[in-house]
Amino acid sequence: MHVSCWASDVDFCLRLRAHRDDNAWTPHAQTCHHESASRGIEDDPVKQARFAGKVATMQSRWQQVLGDDPAYSPCLSLEAPAFSLDPVVLARDSHPVYPVAYAPPGDTGDFPRELDVRNDRT
């Protein structure tokens, strides 16, 4: 199934990437996207079935690539809809993580010591 208008921009960029071509990004570009302006709204069962087929086509074609998207934040879920925060990441990050520094040996001749920067103990 051809994805036609829906997700054609995503499909095009993924095809470029598959052929080892680059997508150029510039902060100076200004675009305006009007969702479903050219194709209309999927408001009846026939259109909804066609849309579901296009989603299935994109998923089967690009599932491996989309699961490893370098631009997709690791804080976002791959399973929940609409770019939801990943609950595993939220649970992991709810506890503060303190940095650990390794002090190189000074003039004492000791091996490197682990420094707990949280309590400033050596």
> What pLDDT is recorded for position 81?
73
If asked whether residues 85 and 39 sit together in one domain, one would say no
* pLDDT, tens only, 66-96: 777 777 787 888 777 777 888 877 777 666 6
Using a pLDDT cut of 90, give the percent of the chain over it. 0
Do residues 54 and 100 both lie within one domain?
no
Count of domains for the chain:
2
Say yes or no: 62 and 98 in one domain: no
Examine the domain organization and report whether 80 and 61 are in the same domain.
no
Q: Are residues 38 and 14 in the same domain?
A: yes
Domain final residue pick, 70, 94, 111: 70
Residue 62, pLDDT score: 87
Specify whether 12 is located in the same domain as 64: yes
- 121 lies in which domain range? 73-122
Q: What is the value of pTM for the model shown?
A: 0.49
**Is residue 9 located within the same domain as residue 24?**
yes
Give tens-digit pLDDT for 21-53. 877 878 888 878 776 677 777 788 888 888 888
Tell me how far the alpha carbon of residue 70 is from its chain's centroid.
6
- Residue 25: which of 37, 35, 16, 34 has the closest Cα? 16
For the chain, the 3-state helix, strand and coil shares in percent, each to the nearest 5, are 35, 10, 60
**Helix-helix angle 8-18:45-66, to 10 degrees:** 20
> What's the pLDDT score for residue 115?
54
21 and 43 belong to one structural domain: yes
